[in-house]
Amino acid sequence: MTVREARTIILLVDGSTSVILHEGMVLKRLGYTVNTARNAEDALFMMENTPISIVLTDISLPAMNGVAFIKQIKNSDRLKATPVVVLTSNDDPGTRDVCMRMGCAGFLIRPIEPDALYRALQAVSESKPRGHIRLSTSINVIVGDGTEMGGAARTEQATAISEGGLFVKTHYPQPRHALTPLRIFISDREIRARAVVLYTYDSGSGPLQDPGMGMKFVEIADADRELIRAFIREQVAGGTTAREAGGGS
């Protein structure tokens, strides 16, 4: 699950039980709070009674279809400000045009990689959207290399990681802007990188109240960055079937 500073509630609307289970799981692992509805009528009732940050809906819905559902949202003074993102297997350009002209914030085609879905939702929900999934985790990291410039080597825990950097939980953070060697251990592999400290937190501050430092990779091999990307992808989408990943009602 990603580290998020504010709760974003997504209403996932789809007529397929397998899609609801798969996509709901992925969204939760991305750090979102997820409500679900199997049809447009239930979704509209939920929106009238529950705060919703984003509606993520298919076009092919039982009874009222997705286009009619979106029209109801956009014609409601109370609901029209809620962003709607379409996630569907229907790649018809005419349908996309209709949805976008009605005011949808995005039109995504299944199957979709978790990082592409994350970027689309970040663009809708955040004033400063992240470009990469930030995964909550617990992995060993050796900070420093024992040299005068690199600092004393010590083993710490990374509690969040993305392909762009990580958060190291520690009571002894490096100063801001310090360039620090790292050895990161993922899936029996050792990744060597250099990272710069962007910010530090004392105990009791920060999103998870953990002391530590947020670091951005400035030197890392392409193969090692891809290893981190694959690790995150497996943690977010692992355990799903091809049918679920492809969608379908």
Q: What is the pLDDT of residue 187?
A: 85
For the chain, which residues score pLDDT lower than 70?
A: 1-6, 148-150, 206-208, 240-249
CB atoms within 10 A of CB 194: 15
Q: Measuring CA to CA, how many Å separate 24 from each of 76, 107, 247?
A: 26, 18, 12
**SS3 state at 98:** helix
The CATH classification number of 135-235 equals 2.40.10.220
User: What's the rounded Cα separation, in Å, for the pair 129 and 139?
Assistant: 25
Residue extent(s) of CATH 2.40.10.220 domains in the chain: 135-235
Pairing type for strands 84-88 and 106-109 reads parallel
Residue extent(s) of CATH 3.40.50.2300 domains in the chain: 9-131
Question: Which pLDDT tens digit goes with each residue over 127-184?
Answer: 888 889 999 999 999 999 887 666 789 999 999 999 999 999 999 899 999 999 999 9
Q: What is the pLDDT of residue 206?
A: 65
Helices 222-237, 17-29: inter-axial angle, 10-degree rounding: 130
The CATH superfamily holding the domain 9-131 is Response regulator (3.40.50.2300)
Q: What is the pLDDT of residue 47?
A: 97
pTM beyond 0.75, yes or no: yes
Which residue, chain included where needed, has tokens 């709607």? Answer: 84
Q: What is the pLDDT of residue 242?
A: 39
